[in-house]
Amino acid sequence: MSRNSNPQDGPLVVVVDGDCALCIGLVEWMGRRIAVAPRTPASPVTPATPASTRTPVTPASPVTPTGSADPAAPHVGVNPQTVVFVPGQSELGSEVLSRASVTDFDSVLVVQSGIVLTESSAVLALATILPRGYRALAAVARVVPRSWRDAAYRAVARRRIRIWGRAEVCAIDSRVAEATYGPRGLLAHEDARRLLVLAGALAP
């Protein structure tokens, strides 16, 4: 895979082991913490009034919140324009792994701006869509030599089924279903494929 011409256009693609309870738990954990700004259409710009015709304005009284959400404020949730979760055992998951030349898939793979990330680098890449505190922790973790990080990752990956057991991909929480392609995911096949192509995870 090569880098997209415009890396900002595509979502982060996260391929996970759909039979692994730890991996499914990671997806659900992220779904409760991803901070994404709501995507709302931009308001039309009203032309400025010439200074000579402006009427003095009396300062308004403070407005009491009515309970409606500020459309510009960040909220916790997932958005398929920002991240797409794909089970490795699914049709599209297999295509992504094949295109990435990955033959020994072990729990998590990330495609970020057309670049394939595996092992500890894949896990740390997930922090880019998490709140600031997690991004700071990931930055600290990157100071650790990659060989050490990957060794720790492989140690966990080898034991993940024995320790955490298995979980069907259909166990994915509804909070992340809208950004998930699979049995319980709400992403239709063609929508998911379009997003994966946009992210550089699949060929056009």
Q: Would you say residue 118 lies in a domain?
A: yes
| Tens-digit pLDDT string for the chain (204 aa) | 543 334 446 789 999 887 778 887 888 888 877 754 344 444 444 444 454 544 444 444 443 333 333 333 333 446 788 889 999 888 999 999 999 998 888 789 999 888 999 999 999 998 888 888 888 999 999 999 999 999 998 888 888 777 777 766 555 666 788 888 887 788 899 999 999 999 999 988
Q: How many domains does the chain have?
A: 1
158 within some domain: yes
Q: What pLDDT sits at residue 112?
A: 87
Please report whether residue 41 resides in a domain: no
The answer to the question of residue 3 being in a domain is no
Residue 203: inside a domain, yes or no?
no
pLDDT score, position 153 = 85
Is 46 contained in some domain?
A: no
**Residue 159: phi, psi to the nearest 5?**
-105, 5
SS (H, E, C) the chain: CCCCCCCCCCCEEEEECCCEHHHHHHHHHHHCCCEECCCCCCCCCCCCCCHHHCCCCCCCCCCCCCCCCCCCCCEECCCCCCEEEEECCCHHHHHHHHHCCCCCCCCEEEEECCEEEEHHHHHHHHHHHCCHHHHHHHHHHCCCCHHHHHHHHHHHHHHHHHHHCECCHHHCCHHHHHHECCCCCCCCHHHHHHHHHHCCCCCC
| Domain residue limits at 128 | 12-36+75-198
In a domain, residue 68? The reply is no
In a domain, 84, yes or no: yes
What pLDDT does 140 receive? 92
What pLDDT score was predicted for residue 44?
A: 46
- Residue 5: the pLDDT is 36
